[in-house]
Amino acid sequence: MCLEAVGLTQSTVGRHAASLCARTVDERACGVSYLLRVVLPDKPGSLGAVATALGNAGADILGVTVVERSPGHAVDDLAVELPNGRPPDVLITAAESVPGVEVESVRPHSGLLETHHELELIEEITGDPARGLELLAAGVPRIFRAGWAIIAVREGTRSYRVAQSSAAPETIAGHLPWLPLTKAIVIDPEVHWVPEPWSCLDTELAAAPFGSAAQAQALVVGRPGGPVFRPSELARLTHLAGIVTTVLAS
C-alpha cells in the first residue's frame, strides 16, 4: 500500500519509528499496546493527521492495516503503544480531534500487526492436512484479531464443535438452527440462537460456511468487546474458509 495514498508520508512514519527505536528495551517493556480501529474520511492526509495527533498524545504507532475502503470513508486498524500509566482514553481524544474521524474501538493488543497470516496458515494446513481443522481454528483468531474460533457442525437437531481455538467458550452440544449457511453472516444473538457463553462480554460474532455443500458446518469467530465484523472481514473469512475446504478435500 502506498503510504502517500492514505496521507501517511515517509517522514511521518520516520518520526514515529525513530521515536520507538530511540527508547531503551526497558522503557518499551513498560509500554502498553492497543489496537485502535478508526473510521476516517477517505482522502489524502487523513491518516497522516491521525498519526500526528496520536504522536502528540505520546503514542508510538507500531503498524497500520487497512480494514475497509468505501466511497467517502476508510476503516483502519492502528497498533499503537502508550507509556505505562497513560489511559487509553487519550487515544480516542487524540484521534477524534481530527475532523471527520471516529474511533470505533480500542482494545489491548499483543504487538505488531501482521498482514500475511492467511497465506502462512494455508501453507501450514497444506503441510499437515490431518490437523487441518485444529490449525484453522487456532489460526483464525490471530488473523482476524479475535478472541476465539470454533468449527461447528449440525446433524439433525444437534450441533457440536469439531475443532476450537484455545480460548473458545466451553459449551455442551446444542442446536444451531441457522446452520447450514449459504454465505458469511454477522451473528446477532437476538436473531440467531447461540449458547449464552458465546455472546458474553459483549462478544461480536461472525460465521462463514465451511466444508462441502452437503455438510452443515460453519467457521464461527468471536471477538469479545468488539468491534463488529465488517463486510470486508466477512469476505476474507469466506475466502479463507473456501480455500481451506478445497485444500482438505484434495
What single string gives the DSSP state of each residue in 25-80? HHHHHT-EEEEEEEEEESSTTHHHHHHHHHHHTTPEEEEEEEEEEETTEEEEEEEE
* pLDDT for position 119: 85
Please name each of the domains of the chain with its CATH number. 4-108 (3.30.70.260), 117-249 (3.30.450.40)
Q: How many helices (H) and strands (E) does the chain have?
A: 8, 9
* pLDDT for position 240: 93
Sheet holding 204-210, edge to edge: 158-164, 148-155, 217-223, 204-210, 185-187
Place of cell 468487546: 225
Q: What is the mean pLDDT of each successive set of 10 residues along the chain, which is 250 residues long?
A: 34 39 40 92 91 94 87 92 92 96 90 67 94 96 94 93 95 88 95 94 96 89 94 92 92
The helix (run of H) or strand (run of E) holding residue 208 is strand 204-210
**Range 121-124 contact pairs with CB under 8 angstroms and sequence separation of 24 or more:** 121/240, 122/240, 122/243, 122/244, 122/247
User: Are the CB atoms for 64 and 47 separated by under 8 Å?
Assistant: yes
* pLDDT for position 172: 78
* pLDDT for position 30: 55
Within 10 angstroms of residue 191's Cβ, the number of other Cβ atoms is 9
Cα separation values, 178 from 82, 87, 191, Å: 42, 41, 9
Residue whose C-alpha is closest to residue 78's, from 43, 25, 117, 38: 38
* pLDDT for position 112: 53
